[in-house]
């Protein structure tokens, strides 16, 4: 991944005004992949301009999709035919979400060669559930030299019960089963918003998928999908990140373009801590100007508290007087933020994957983001800290947060992304 210039933040001042939330990265990625199932043009609105999106567009282009941006957040994708059934490691390793091209290729071409997704900074991320689901539904799958070769003789059929709730494997199995004459039943399926949005998109093109948002999903195969137009949901992780940033800086801030029901786990945890959150249609006012209380947080599958907000929550709790406890049941080793937050004066001790956090006063420091959400935790801490923080590893943060410095400046923060000399010009 190419290095990006560091982010400089002079913290210690509240955020004010209004911030518009971008469309969801983690919903858009599988929807772009799902467009491979149609021979007709598909127009997608609500595609964020993020490096992960450019990576997935590169992957589908490699497979035969013609992609064109037709607006700031709109693309037309057209795959009249696949030109390859192979996705090389160089592309898959950039982003784990790309592994679901496997399901799309199995459906459209009957065959796929996809590299194993790489490890990542927060630990082992297995794909056994994807593999087991494919095999149970009739796909022949071999592993050869770090790559999977999948083939199906006919339409997928039968049923599979996942061992755990997995977003990626649920999406992969659904994609593989959409085209055909048979029926597939998936039990203990993920009810995550990103699964539901992908299913809504596929159904809008003529797929017949029932039960999304429940633990039993049935896919009735259809002969083909038509083209269409679809708008991706707002990003609940970006919204949650800025809600937490507002709380950490004890601000009053309005977020617009939010899907409030998707944010319940975060809003209710923040409310428990003393943050006032007022919902108004698709906007939300957060008022964190009163004294906050510490909390116990456990990251779980949707609708529980998301793992993608666990590091950010730790950053907030590091500023709240008293003892807080944070654990992550999805990725227990998602902890690369801890040592960096401690460099900024936080008091976080990790014992058997549990973070025990004593509230403290944070100060600016040079820090490094090792992954996307650890980076978000660092910019939240930097906004709350006294003095200047310089955050390196912006290439990870840029995966999930569009025009971050500019948007933070828009709500009153002192933030500048650039080399040190340029950043010195910050007011």
Ligand X SMILES: CC(=O)N[C@H]1[C@@H](OP(=O)(O)OP(=O)(O)OC[C@H]2O[C@@H](n3ccc(=O)[nH]c3=O)[C@H](O)[C@@H]2O)O[C@H](CO)[C@@H](O)[C@@H]1O
Residues 404-423 that bind ligand X (CB under 6 A): none
Q: Is 400 in the site for ligand PEP (CB under 6 A)?
A: yes
Catalytic, 67? Answer no
Query: What's the rounded Cα separation, in Å, for the pair 36 and 54?
Result: 16
Return the residue of 39, 96, 250, 329 that touches ligand PEP, per CB under 6 A. Answer: 96
Task: Count Cα neighbours of 155 within 13 Å in the Cβ-side half-sphere.
Answer: 16
Indicate the helix (H) or strand (E) that contains 113. strand 111-115
Would you say 303 and 265 are in contact if contact means Cβ atoms under 8 Å apart? yes
Q: Is 120 in the site for ligand PEP (CB under 6 A)?
A: yes
Q: What is the dihedral of CA 268, 271, 275, 279, to 10 degrees?
A: 60
Distance of alpha carbon 339 from the chain centroid: 23
User: Site size for ligand X, by CB under 6 A?
Assistant: 21
Candidate segments 80-88, 124-132, 286-294, 389-397, binder of ligand X by CB under 6 A: 124-132
Return the residue of 10, 32, 91, 165 that touches ligand X, per CB under 6 A. Answer: 165
Least Å distance between CB 95 and ligand PEP?
5
Annotation-wise, does 33 bind a ligand? no
Write out 262-286 in H/E/C secondary structure.
Answer: HHHHHHHHHHHCCCEEEEECCEEEE
The candidate with the shortest Cα–Cα distance to 59, out of 26, 92, 27, is 92
Return the residue of 129, 249, 257, 417 that touches ligand X, per CB under 6 A. Answer: 129
Q: Is 398 in the site for ligand PEP (CB under 6 A)?
A: no
Return the residue of 128, 143, 208, 333 that touches ligand X, per CB under 6 A. Answer: 128
Catalytic residue among 4, 116, 120, 360: 120
Return the residue of 36, 37, 95, 320 that touches ligand PEP, per CB under 6 A. Answer: 95
Give one DSSP letter per residue of 298-326, joined into a string: EE-STTSB-GGGHHHHHHHHTTSSSEEEE
Residues 23-52 that bind ligand PEP (CB under 6 A): 26
Q: Is 262 in the site for ligand PEP (CB under 6 A)?
A: no
Identity of the residue, 82 or 133, whose beta carbon is nearer to ligand X in the bound complex: 133
**Residue count (the chain):** 427
Would you say 249 and 242 are in contact if contact means Cβ atoms under 8 Å apart? no
Active site residues: 120
Q: Which residues bind ligand PEP (CB under 6 A)?
A: 26, 95-97, 120, 308, 372-373, 400
């Amino acid at each position: 991944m190419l290095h990006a210039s560091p982010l400089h933040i002079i913290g210690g001042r509240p955020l004010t005004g209004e911030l518009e939330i971008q469309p969801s990265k983690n919903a858009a990625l599988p929807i772009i992949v799902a467009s491979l199932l149609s021979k007709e043009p598909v127009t997608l609105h609500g595609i964020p301009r993020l490096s992960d999106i450019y990576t997935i567009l590169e992957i589908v282009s490699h497979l035969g999709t013609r992609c064109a941006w037709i607006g700031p957040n709109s693309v037309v994708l057209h795959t009249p035919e696949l030109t390859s059934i192979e996705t090389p490691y160089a592309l898959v390793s950039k982003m784990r979400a790309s592994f679901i091209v496997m399901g799309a290729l199995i459906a459209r071409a009957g065959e796929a060669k996809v590299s194993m997704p790489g490890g990542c900074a927060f630990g082992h991320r297995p794909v056994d559930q994807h593999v087991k689901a494919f095999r149970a539904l009739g796909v022949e799958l071999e592993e050869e030299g770090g790559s999977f070769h999948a083939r199906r003789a006919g339409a997928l059929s039968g049923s599979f019960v996942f061992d755990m709730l997995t977003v990626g494997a649920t999406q992969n199995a659904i994609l593989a089963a959409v085209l055909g004459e048979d029926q597939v039943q998936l039990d203990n399926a993920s009810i995550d918003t990103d699964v539901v949005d992908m299913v809504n998109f596929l159904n809008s093109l003529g797929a017949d998928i029932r039960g999304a948002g429940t633990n039993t999903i049935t896919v009735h195969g259809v002969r083909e999908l038509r083209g269409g137009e679809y708008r991706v949901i707002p990003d609940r992780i970006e919204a949650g990140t800025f809600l937490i940033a507002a709380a950490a800086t004890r601000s009053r801030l309005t977020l617009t373009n939010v899907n409030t029901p998707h944010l319940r786990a975060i809003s209710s945890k923040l409310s428990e801590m003393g943050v006032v959150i007022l919902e108004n249609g698709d906007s939300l006012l957060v008022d964190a100007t009163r004294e906050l209380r510490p909390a116990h947080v456990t990251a779980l599958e949707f609708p529980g508290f998301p793992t993608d907000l666990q590091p950010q929550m730790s950053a907030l709790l590091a500023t709240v007087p008293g003892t807080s406890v944070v654990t992550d049941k999805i990725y227990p080793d998602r902890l690369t933020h801890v040592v960096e937050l401690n460099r900024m004066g936080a008091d976080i001790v990790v014992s058997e994957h549990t973070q025990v956090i004593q509230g403290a006063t944070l100060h600016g420091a040079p820090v490094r983001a090792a992954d996307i959400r650890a980076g978000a935790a660092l910019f939240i801490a930097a906004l709350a800290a006294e003095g200047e923080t310089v955050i390196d590893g912006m290439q990870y943060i840029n995966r999930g947060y569009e025009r971050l410095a500019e948007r933070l400046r828009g709500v009153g923060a002192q933030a500048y992304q650039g080399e040190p000399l340029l950043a010195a010009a910050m007011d």
